[in-house]
Structure 1
Amino acid sequence: MQIFIDGDGSPVKDDVIELAGQAGFFVTIVTSVDHYTEKKYPDFVSIVYVDKGLDSADFKIVGLIQKGDLLITQDYGLASLVLGKGVRVLHQTGLEFTQQNIENMLEARYYGAKVRQAGGRTKGPKPYSKEDRQHFRQALSNILLPEQ
């Protein structure tokens, strides 16, 4: 298993790298050149930069990821694309996307977009909290280090 991170705006990159290092997994961060960094990462971490543009990172991830890999993303659309490839998908709050829950999430996203197109307002996501991070770390630990 390899771990992929949808890196544009992900608040959990360091958490993933820490836990993946403990468990011995490779990590690939896919991000836009807009987020270029000179930050040094451990040898088991690679960064793939993609061109600016809507969904460029998503398309790259879909092309690279394989059955049995793990994806960290908050993007429901991307999650739905890779679930069909046999990939596990974890949201930054610790929620695991599955074939059973993704359809309702996509439907809610669609209706929210329709409301906004019609001039209405919808609630955005809550700010990322310490509890969200704790839930994420626990969920990731359960996947990567199940015996602990």
Structure 2
Amino acid sequence: MIPLRNRVVVDGDACPVKAEIAQTVRDCGAAALMVSSHNHRLVPEPGVEIVTVDAGDQAADLYIANAITRSDVLVTGDYGLAALGLAKGAAVLTPRGKRITEDDIDGLLAQRHHSARLRRGGKRTKGPPPFTEEDRARFLQKLTFLLRGMQENQLP
């Protein structure tokens, strides 16, 4: 089992920065827990624990919600899971490098709810823009900053 200090917990099903996370945790002396469904096969690497869950709709999210702790960094693009991570005291980072905080989670959840209502009503909503190398670089910078800050006991 991975120690609880300086751990990155990853919602691995649709995460475009898994390789970068693996390299960053090794560089920072941390560890990663990547959780995905059977539909998304992840390859174990040094410093990275892989957990595969059922293919159920929320199986990975439920596993992560139960595993996350105050000393973790959660990487997810799912605002519902981000809210659960924040409630447990974890730092939350999207794969695009945006830090999600208590100050903005309510607005993000409201936006998600509004978009879901539009889609249920037959409207088309705009998806996210294509993932770029700038997104990747921003993510790496923010993750490294969070892990180094945690090691120095300066960040939650």
Q: TM-score range by the shorter chain?
A: over 0.9
1:4: which partner in 2?
9
SS of 2:39's equivalent in the other structure is helix
- Check if 1:20 corresponds to 2:21: no
Q: 2:108 aligns with which of 105, 110, 123?
A: 105
- Check if 1:76 corresponds to 2:79: yes
State the Cα deviation string for residues 64-118 of structure 1 (Å, max 9, x = none).
Answer: 1111211111110100011011010100111011110111011011111111111
TM-score normalised according to structure 2 size: 0.89
- Check if 1:29 corresponds to 2:34: yes
Q: 1:40: how far off?
A: 4.4
1:141: which partner in 2?
144
1:28 maps to a residue whose letter is L
1:41: which partner in 2?
45
Report the RMSD for the aligned CA atoms in angstroms. 1.3
Structure 1 residue ranges (4+ consecutive) displaced by more than 3 angstroms after TM superposition: none
Which residues of structure 1 form unaligned runs of 5+?
none
Distance, in Å, in 2 between the alignment partners of 1:121 and 1:40 is 38
SS of 2:77's equivalent in the other structure is coil
1:81 maps to a residue whose letter is L
Which residues of structure 2 form unaligned runs of 5+?
1-5
